[in-house]
Amino acid sequence: MPQSPLETAMPVGLDHFKDKQKEALAGWLMASPAILLLLTFLILPFLFAFYFSFTNQRLISPNPTEWVGLRNFSRLLTVRTFSLEPVADPTTGELVRDEKGAFSYPSLRNYTRNNPDYPHLDGLREWRSWNWGNKRVYLLASDVVFMKSLANTLLFVLIVAPLQAGLALILAILINQPLRGINVFRTIYFMPVVISMVVIALLWRFIYDGNNGLLNSLLSLITFGAFEPIDWLGNPNTAMGALIAMSIWQAVGFHMVIWLSGLQTIPSVLYEAASVEGANQRQQFRFITWPGLRNTAVLILIVITIQAFGLFTQINVMTRGGPLDSTQSIVFQAFIRGFEKQDIAGGSAISVLLFIIVLVVSLVQRYLTRERRL
């Protein structure tokens, strides 16, 4: 716009400056309700948890809260290996064998309970053990239950993330067919997503029941009675698998719909062109569908991973971490210690560790799936 020489630049600049200030003020004001609420009810509790994790805070305690440094973390995370030599006969020097020919070993307790020669083992407990040559090797941990919860949660994430994403993609492709009444199927596949996990977990207790649960009945029907009933949630070998299956069943519809939206952004012209060129189904998926879904895939992977790390409700309603700690999860442990055992410091330390783990995993995922430009 041509400016008349009578108008000086000054007032315009000042107006502009004032406008900018007004905009910044409006920006702060409009964002402030949300920011204040999130600060008070999300970030502040998180900072509290962070602070508590360095103290010995309990819900009710006669002693004042003390700063304990990293003690809570070292109590959670200390892991050591330790091996024992078989017992030898003191006179002959030969290794003692029992009637089955197995070696016998000194009791682990001698080393982990108040043994002045092994101060670094004090208070540790057996997490895993195995034989290695003549030796008995132990993996010791200061907090075996937490270690199990960590291992279980990682297992859960490693199985659920790819499996749920893959099944959701298959469902999305099925539901993307141009068939009459396809919306009915879409509606049904999505239905478990809207139902409370508490409700679903209670219903699935009937499916997994050890006596005449629905799953046992079905398997017995299919095998003409040859199937031996399993107490799916009561057996340490099957409990985690049962929880994984139910969790996928509940959430897969959500990710199906996200895949579906990705599928529908791929122009149909591409498929038509590929058909003309004589590309078969597999080739079409490999060269058109999959590349077109790249961003969707990254999003789904990250979302499922974060959700899977939050594993809690199913365990709280169905197994409470059992049997034999086979379904302990990180969040369940954080909550149980902080709330039910009133060990706020211990629960908070677990929360902080979980935050760090999820943050690192998310960043690694983002790095690995970044856009590669040649």
Partner 1 sequence: MILKGSSPRTSLFWRYTVLILIALIFIFPIVFMVVSSLKPNLQLLSDTSSLRAFLPVGDISLNNYIDAFKRVPIGLFMFNSLFITAVTLILGIFVNSLAGFSFAILKWPGKMVVLSILIATMIVPFETIAVPLLLIVNKLPMIGAKGFKIGWLDTYHVQIIPFIADAFGIFLFTQFFRDIPRELVEAARIDGASWFQIYRRVFMPIAGPVVATAAILKFLAMYNSYLWPLMVSQSEQYRPVMVGLQYFFQLNVAWGEIMAYLSIITLPVLLFYLWLQRAFIESIASTGVKG
* Contact pattern from residue 323 through residue 352 relative to partner 1, giving x for each residue in contact according to CB under 8 A and a dash for the rest: --------x--xx--xx----x--xx-xx-
* Contact pattern from residue 55 through residue 84 relative to partner 1, giving x for each residue in contact according to CB under 8 A and a dash for the rest: ------------------------------
Whole-number Å distance between alpha carbons of 56 and 73: 12
81 versus 275: smaller Cβ distance to partner 1: 275
129 versus 362: smaller Cβ distance to partner 1: 362
Does 365 interact with partner 1 (rule: CB under 8 A)? no
Q: Which residue has the tokens 């041509």?
A: 2
103 versus 185: smaller Cβ distance to partner 1: 185
Residues 262 to 321 in contact with partner 1, rule: CB under 8 A: 262, 264-265, 281, 284-285, 289, 295-296, 298-300, 306, 309-310, 312-313, 316
Whole-number Å distance between alpha carbons of 340 and 354: 19
φ, ψ for residue 54 (rounded to 5)? -105, 10
199 versus 324: smaller Cβ distance to partner 1: 199
Residues 37 to 56 in contact with partner 1, rule: CB under 8 A: 37-38, 40-46, 48-49, 52
Who contacts 299 (Cβ-Cβ below 8 Å, separation ≥6)? 258
Q: Name which position in 12, 14, 30, 95 contacts partner 1 (CB under 8 A).
A: 30
DSSP 53-103: TTB---SS-SSPP-B-TTHHHHHHH-EEEEEEPPPB-TTT-PBPB-TTS-B
Does 161 interact with partner 1 (rule: CB under 8 A)? no
Does 253 interact with partner 1 (rule: CB under 8 A)? yes
The answer to whether the peptide bond before residue 90 is cis (omega within 30 degrees of 0) is: no
Does 156 interact with partner 1 (rule: CB under 8 A)? no
Exposure class string for 177-206: b at 16+ Cβ within 10 A, else e: eeeeeeeeebeebbebeeeebeebbeebbe
* Contact pattern from residue 208 through residue 237 relative to partner 1, giving x for each residue in contact according to CB under 8 A and a dash for the rest: -x--xxx--x--------------------
Does 33 interact with partner 1 (rule: CB under 8 A)? yes
Whole-number Å distance between alpha carbons of 285 and 239: 36
